[in-house]
Amino acid sequence: MTRQTAKELTLQVLIGLSPVALGVWLAGNLQANLAARGLTSGYDFLLDPAGFAITEGPLPYQTGDSYLMAFLAGAANTLTVSIPAIALTTLFGALLGIAAISRNPLLAGVVRLYVDAARNVPLLVHVLLWYVLLLTILPDATKPFVLGPLFLSKAGLALPHPLTGEWPRLGYFGLRGGLQVSPEFTAIVMALATYSAAYCAEIVRAGLQSVPRGQWEAAHALILTRWQAIRMIVAPQALRVILPPYISLALNTIKNSSLGVAIGYPEIVSIGTTSMNQSGRAIECISIIALLYLILNIATSFTLAIVNRRVQIRER
């Protein structure tokens, strides 16, 4: 071994060890500080009763249930807002992206304006804006605004139940039956959808524009309409370019649903901070929040990666 390589090796070992040393020091520090304040640590609190109520969600959580159940209910709520938010993002984003390449300058200009406006306002403002709008402009629950099968009021959105087919009915204190969602839910879903749709529109536009002009010209020469050209020729080729950034956007949308905490929607972060306040286990609660997001996002990313492989068109 030459002196030069020995020196390099020593340096590398030192650099490699330094984060380990830092971690050991921080852990020791934590232990000492917790002990000094008489705090306990560990995940055993998860089985204690949480004692707080969760206003809505698909899981049958009750006030006396454990913290673990509360976290699971929060994760379920995060999914419950993320899925419709991603679906609406995709729908709006695709429509806006196609409109952005329209030959009608007015339509393309309106889309441009929307994308710029929506992207340049922080998501938190979107969330608050939708929430305030829903709570101020909508009529009281006894006189809901009816839009086809949708009943909108300050009490939230009511629609026919997708499984039972039951329609909401107007009762003495407002709407009963059907599928009822809170204004918090509606606000966070709409905020995520309108915000992410702007990014989605840009992803779709860029994807469509990445297809060579010659493909449009060949479609034109074969008398395909513009819509047929997009559907049969351009979009299938654009999808390869669109999907990877689209997957990132979907994952971001799930993470961004954490802003539901701002309007009291009981998703993971909201449940996590409440649990933290009650149990005093800050590090544990934060680590659980992180872990739940990690699991949700890895699952989503895995699913979409399969979709991505499916649509990779074979060209040879």
Residues that bind another protein in the complex, under the rule CB under 8 A? 212, 214-215, 217-218, 220-225, 228, 232-233, 236-237, 313-316
Q: To the nearest whole angstrom, how small is the minimum distance from the Cβ of residue 243 to another protein?
A: 14
Output the smallest distance, CB 204 to another protein, in A: 17
Residue closest to 75 by CA, chosen among 93, 57, 90, 98: 57
Nearer to another protein, 237 or 301 (CB): 237
Q: Judging by DSSP bridges, how do beta strands 150-153 and 174-176 pair with one another?
A: unpaired
Q: How far is the CB of 316 from another protein (least distance, A)?
A: 4
Q: How far is the CB of 244 from another protein (least distance, A)?
A: 17
- Rounded to a whole number of angstroms, the minimum distance from the CB of residue 100 to another protein is 21
Q: What does DSSP assign to residue 71? A: H
Q: For residues 220 and 96, what is the distance between their CA atoms, to the nearest angstrom? A: 23
Instruction: Say if CB 289 and CB 269 are below 8 A apart.
Output: yes
Distance CA 98, CA 108 (A): 9
Q: Give dist(CA 203, CA 260) in Å, integer.
A: 25
Q: Measured from the CB atom, is 141 or 242 closer to another protein?
A: 242
Residue 1 or 221 having the CB closest to another protein: 221
Closest distance to another protein from the beta carbon of 224 (Å): 6
**Percent helix, strand and coil across the chain, each to the nearest 5:** 70, 5, 25
Q: Which is nearer to another protein, 101 or 233 (CB)?
A: 233
Nearest to another protein of 140, 217 (CB atom): 217
Quickly list DSSP for 244-298.
HHHHHHHHHHHHHGGGGGGGT--SHHHHHHHHHHHH--HHHHHHHHHHHHHHHHH
Q: How many CA atoms lie within 13 A of 149 on its CB side?
A: 10
In 3D space, the residue among 83, 85, 63, 58 whose CA is nearest the CA of residue 73 turns out to be 58
Q: Report, in Å, the least distance between residue 218 CB and another protein.
A: 4
Tell me whether residue 37 or residue 314 sits nearer to another protein (CB atom): 314
**For another protein, the closer CB: 29 or 228:** 228
Distances (CA, A) of 252 to 23, 117, 227, 244, 310: 29, 19, 30, 13, 22
* Residue 233 tokens, joined: 């020729």
Residues 6+ apart with CB under 8 A from 174: 140, 141, 142, 144, 153, 155
- Distance in Å, CB of 110 to another protein, minimum: 23
Closest CB to another protein among residues 35, 218:
218
